[in-house]
């Protein structure tokens, strides 16, 4: 059995980011954030997100640091509401459905997974420095709406490096007034 750690989103980014996590086309506002929870709680079917107008769902997930994303788990029903495709985009904040016409970093054809045990490995070279992840679910297995119970993210989180502005002065040649030395008296010795 696959042992999956607590998702990145709950361990590190959700402490402050779940309030900023955005799910577009969700039927009930705020339900998109409930599917990102610890691995041990994936069986809780009382918390889920369901699409509203059609089968598409789009998650915008900001991280508080840099993430190396290694895998994704998507759990749904064993019926037509389970998503059939997942498209991942990295570092496009505030992505909308209009932006999904862009080429994704990686696309997955999903299998029905009602127990949440199938892991979809990502191309780590493309997801090694992620500060924002967008997950687009464009279609399902034939139902009018899409329903997701759990999304797990596997990877490594590192603290974001803040690069401060550095003000430097460079000298093309030294200014003698800036570099005063004590007067050195020359010693002269005569050789006879």
Q: What tokens were used for 132?
A: 């924002």
CATH for 77 = 2.60.120.470
Q: Examine the pLDDT at 16 and tell me if it is beyond 60.
A: no
Establish if 187 belongs to a structural domain.
Answer: no
Residue 87 lies in a domain: yes
Quick one: how far is CA 108 from the chain centroid? 17
Whether residue 14 has pLDDT greater than 50: no
* CA gap 95, 55 in Å, rounded: 18
**In this structure, is residue 174 part of a structural domain?**
no
The mean-pLDDT minimum among 21-25, 115-119, 183-187 falls in: 183-187
Instruction: Extract the tokens encoding 160.
Output: 């974001």
Expressed as residue numbers, the domain containing 139 is: 8-154
Q: How many independent structural domains does the chain possess?
A: 1
DSSP classification of residue 117: -
Give the pLDDT confidence score for residue 85 in this predicted structure. 97
Is 51 domain-assigned?
yes
| C-beta neighbour count of 70 within 10 angstroms | 17
Cα 83 from Cα 146, distance rounded (Å): 6
Is 73 within 8 Å of 118 (Cβ atoms)? yes
The model's pTM: 0.75
* Helix (H), strand (E) at residue 59: strand 57-76
Give domain status of residue 78, yes or no. yes
Domain membership flag for residue 35: yes
Q: What letter would DSSP give residue 79? A: S
Query: Per-residue pLDDT tens for 111-133?
Result: 999 999 999 999 999 999 999 99
Q: Are 147 and 31 in contact (CB under 8 A)?
A: no
Please determine, for residue 25, whether its predicted confidence score (pLDDT) is greater than 50: yes
Q: Is residue 60 part of a domain?
A: yes
- Position 53 scores a pLDDT of 85
Residue 68, in any domain of the structure: yes
């Amino acid at each position: 059995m696959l042992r999956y750690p607590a998702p990145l989103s709950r361990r590190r980014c959700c402490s402050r980011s779940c309030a900023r996590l955005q799910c577009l086309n969700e039927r009930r506002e705020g339900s998109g954030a409930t599917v990102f929870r610890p691995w041990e709680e994936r069986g809780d079917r009382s918390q889920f997100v369901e699409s509203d107008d059609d089968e598409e769902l789009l998650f915008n997930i900001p991280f508080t640091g840099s993430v190396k994303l290694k895998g994704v788990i998507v759990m749904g029903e064993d019926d037509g509401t389970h998503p059939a495709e997942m498209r991942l985009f990295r570092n496009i904040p505030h992505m909308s459905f209009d932006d999904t016409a862009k080429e994704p970093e990686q696309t997955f054809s999903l299998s029905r997974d009602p127990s949440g045990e199938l892991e979809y490995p990502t191309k780590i070279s493309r997801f090694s420095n992620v500060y924002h992840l967008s997950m687009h679910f464009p279609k399902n297995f034939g139902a009018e709406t899409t329903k997701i119970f759990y999304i797990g993210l596997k990877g490594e989180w590192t603290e974001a490096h803040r690069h401060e502005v550095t003000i430097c002065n460079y000298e093309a040649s030294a200014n003698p007034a800036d570099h005063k030395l004590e007067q050195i008296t020359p010693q002269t010795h005569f050789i006879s």
